[in-house]
Amino acid sequence: MDRFVIISGCSGGGKSTLLAELRRRGHAVVEEPGRRIVREEVKCNGLALPWVDGVAFLRRAIEMALADWESASAHEGWVFFDRGLIDAAAGLQHLTGEQVLGVLGQCYRYHRRVFMVPPWPEIYLIDPERRHGFDAALAEYSRLLEAYPSIGYETVVLPKAGVSERADLVVDALKELP
């Protein structure tokens, strides 16, 4: 969908803060599947956690992202996704070798321009839902920079800037397109 916009990139690079600003400006925002899954799994002592069973975690993330994609059509205007289907499919393909990225990436399309937050070690934090270190975040970021263009997306790396400036850049870049 041309109005479904992905904000992806490096863990701890400011995606959630940017999405909160876009929500504050009146846009629909879809929370990252991974964080929702971690909260649910921790609450019920489940095992589909990235640090316990990464494959089960990513399969759940794909299911949740598909449901998010379907339900987002109820919103009018831009809908901003904190990660989503492509990130989960790229992760699963990396762990298992299953060729899911191309199939899912072609069937469920987002806006052709994907906004990537770069590594930003000065603001990177480990928290109860993000237990991996900065090196793992960098490796994931590199995979995503390759994954999106490989299935026809244009990536725009956002600058390390204040949240208001980043939000302006995203909205302005979307206005530029026909």
Q: What is the CATH number of the domain that holds 102?
A: 3.40.50.300
Contact 79, 4 (CB under 8 A): yes
Does the pTM surpass 0.85? The reply is yes
Element at 80 (helix H, strand E): strand 79-82
Q: How many domains does the chain have?
A: 1
Q: What is the structure's pLDDT at 84?
A: 86
Distance of CA 133 to the CA centre of its chain: 18
pLDDT in tens, the chain (178 residues): 689 999 998 777 788 899 999 999 999 999 989 888 988 888 898 888 878 888 998 999 999 999 999 999 888 899 999 998 999 999 999 999 999 988 888 889 999 999 999 876 565 556 566 555 667 777 888 999 999 999 999 999 999 999 999 999 999 999 876 5
**DSSP-assigned letters across all residues of 82-100:** ES-HHHHHHHHHHHH---H
Q: Can you give the residue range of the structural domain that contains 117?
A: 4-176
